[in-house]
């Protein structure tokens, strides 16, 4: 039976609605995006036209960089108020990086218990340190007597030059200058007393810092991996593998830095110390020890401590000897900057010499001597950690391979890397497509 025209149109409209609903269900099932409203699409298009792509990218980078700089600034500001804790802990970390290979050797090769290996290492380290300081102290005590006599002779020569030279100062003029200096000391006695009291508190802080260094060093050598796993377990489970691998690589970078810097400091100390000994500069051995300690500040340390040798050569042996000593110091400093730093330090920690100099300069501006001392190892560790995380190094790291029992014995319970999910990563805030491998 043929339906009326109105009913046929109603039936056709009903079938069209059903087909449209079925197609919509299919699109939702396969994840096809729903069609946007024309008004919203036009608004987004107008916004994109108003803000060019380069401006949006620059704005995205700008606010992220601002947040990073603010976070770093607040962290440095907070750490500056607890330097009594931070500096000893940082020194202990550097010493642990130096001594941990010895502890590992005694545990693996000599089959020492971990506690016994740490005890033997600490006793040997303290014995070497006390013995070296006692030898240096004896040399200082014997060398200062002759140096004091030479200094008095130099002062008398200066007085004679002031009296007979172009200035023509008489003994009465010199006495008046000396009396004025004494009066200035009397007038500023309160300032001098407060400075002495501040030195007393500084000495107390120094003793407390030394004790903190020793205790921190013992526990870092004994329970270093366990302490690291404690902090790693505070992170979300999916981030633990990356944090564990990055921390392991960063620690290895710091160990390499300490070893190489120890070698560089030894070369600097031998070069300047032997040069001072050949030139007859007094206190050559204490000068070598001073240069060795100062050389742990890369590039700048040897030059600053070497200036003490130049001053002693000037006081003891005259300006010609001091000029030769200055040439020796400059030669050693240039050898460190152009040979040792690029060839040895650069390969060990993957840092350009310019980056080392800039790190030392920036660290000294922000934190003084401690900042200059810790700037380069902090930069080396940060460089290694950032590269590891950026390259997703934990995905192919043998540290997470269950077939390496040596690593398991060294680092304790293994932290497994998270499984990869099939869910796509969300789009970046700047609208770019996500990385397919992320």
Range among 27-31, 198-202, 219-223, 333-337 rated most confident? 219-223
What is the structure's pLDDT at 176?
A: 74
Higher-confidence residue of 309 and 318: namely 309
Higher-confidence residue of 355 and 146: namely 355
pLDDT in tens, 194-235: 655 555 566 777 888 889 999 999 999 998 888 988 999 998
Higher-confidence residue of 57 and 409: namely 57
Euclidean distance between CA atoms 118 and 218, whole angstroms: 7
Euclidean distance between CA atoms 17 and 20, whole angstroms: 5
Residue 351's φ and ψ, nearest 5 degrees, are -125, 135
Our CA angle for 28, 29, 35, nearest 5°, is 20
pLDDT confidence bin for 63, thresholds 50/70/90: very high
pLDDT for residue 437 is more than 60 = no
> 366 vs 73, 361, 373, CA distance in Å?
11, 9, 12
- Find out whether 136 and 286 touch, Cβ atoms under 8 Å: yes
pLDDT for residue 65 is more than 90 = yes
pLDDT for residue 284 is more than 80 = yes
What is the structure's pLDDT at 365?
A: 85
Q: What's the alpha-carbon Rg for the chain, to the nearest Å? A: 34
Tell me what percent of the residues of the chain surpass a pLDDT of 70: 68
Q: Count CB atoms within 10 A of the CB of residue 102.
A: 16
> 254 vs 248, 269, 297, CA distance in Å?
10, 22, 14
pLDDT in tens, 74-85: 988 888 888 888
Our CA angle for 392, 396, 397, nearest 5°, is 95
pLDDT for residue 360 is more than 80 = yes
Euclidean distance between CA atoms 336 and 50, whole angstroms: 55
Tell me what percent of the residues of the chain surpass a pLDDT of 90: 14
* Cα of 153 vs its chain's centroid, Å: 46
- Give the domain ranges of the chain: 57-171+207-234
Kindly provide the residue ranges of all beta strands, DSSP E only, lying in 109-186, ordered along the sequence. none
What is the structure's pLDDT at 64?
A: 92
What is the structure's pLDDT at 120?
A: 93
Euclidean distance between CA atoms 83 and 384, whole angstroms: 25
3-state class of 288 per DSSP?
helix
Residue where the block lists tokens 């002062």: 155
Euclidean distance between CA atoms 254 and 90, whole angstroms: 11
pLDDT confidence bin for 127, thresholds 50/70/90: very high
What is the structure's pLDDT at 411?
A: 41
Among the ranges given (63-72, 139-148, 346-355, 393-402), the one the predictor scored with the smallest mean pLDDT:
139-148
Euclidean distance between CA atoms 386 and 390, whole angstroms: 6
> 100 vs 107, 118, 403, CA distance in Å?
11, 9, 24
Rounded to two decimals, the pTM is 0.66
């Amino acid at each position: 039976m043929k339906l009326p025209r109105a009913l046929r149109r109603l039936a056709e409209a009903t079938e069209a609605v059903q087909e449209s609903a079925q197609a919509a269900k299919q699109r939702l099932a396969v994840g096809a995006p729903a069609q946007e409203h024309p008004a919203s699409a036009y608004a987004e298009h107008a916004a994109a036209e108003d803000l060019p792509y380069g401006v949006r990218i620059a704005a995205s980078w700008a606010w992220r960089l601002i947040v990073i700089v603010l976070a770093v600034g607040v962290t440095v500001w907070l750490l500056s108020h607890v330097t009594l804790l931070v500096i000893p802990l940082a020194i202990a970390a550097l010493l642990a990086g130096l001594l941990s290979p010895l502890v590992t050797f005694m545990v693996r090769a000599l089959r020492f218990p971990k506690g016994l290996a740490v005890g033997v290492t600490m006793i040997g380290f303290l014995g070497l340190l006390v013995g070296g300081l006692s030898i240096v102290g004896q040399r200082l005590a014997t060398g200062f007597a002759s140096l004091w006599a030479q200094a008095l002779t130099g002062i008398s020569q200066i007085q004679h030059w002031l009296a007979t030279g172009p200035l023509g100062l008489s003994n009465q003029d010199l006495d008046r200058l000396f009396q004025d200096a004494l009066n200035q000391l009397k007038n500023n006695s309160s300032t001098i007393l407060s400075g002495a009291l501040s030195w007393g508190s500084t000495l107390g802080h120094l003793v407390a810092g030394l004790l903190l260094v020793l205790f921190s060093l013992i526990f870092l050598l004994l329970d270093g991996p366990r302490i690291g796993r404690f902090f790693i377990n505070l992170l979300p489970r999916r981030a633990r593998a990356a944090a564990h691998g990055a921390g392991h690589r960063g620690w290895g970078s710091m160990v390499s830095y300490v070893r190489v810097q120890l070698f560089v400091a030894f070369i600097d100390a031998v070069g300047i110390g032997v040069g001072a000994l050949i030139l007859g500069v007094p206190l050559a051995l204490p000068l070598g020890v001073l240069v060795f300690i100062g050389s742990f500040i890369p590039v700048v340390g040897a030059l600053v401590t070497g200036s003490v040798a130049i001053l002693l050569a000037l006081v003891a042996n005259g300006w010609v000897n001091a000029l030769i000593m200055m040439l020796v110091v400059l030669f050693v400093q240039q050898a460190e900057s152009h040979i040792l730093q690029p060839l040895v330090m650069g390969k060990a920690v993957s840092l350009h010499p310019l980056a080392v100099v800039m790190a030392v300069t920036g660290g000294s501006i922000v934190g003084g001597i401690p900042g200059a001392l810790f700037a380069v190892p902090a930069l080396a560790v940060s460089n290694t950690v950032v590269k590891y995380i950026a390259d997703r190094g934990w995905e192919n790291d043998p540290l997470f391979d269950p077939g390496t029992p040596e690593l398991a014995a060294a680092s304790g319970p293994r932290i497994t890397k998270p499984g990869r999910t099939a869910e796509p990563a969300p789009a970046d805030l700047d609208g770019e497509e996500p990385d397919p491998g992320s």
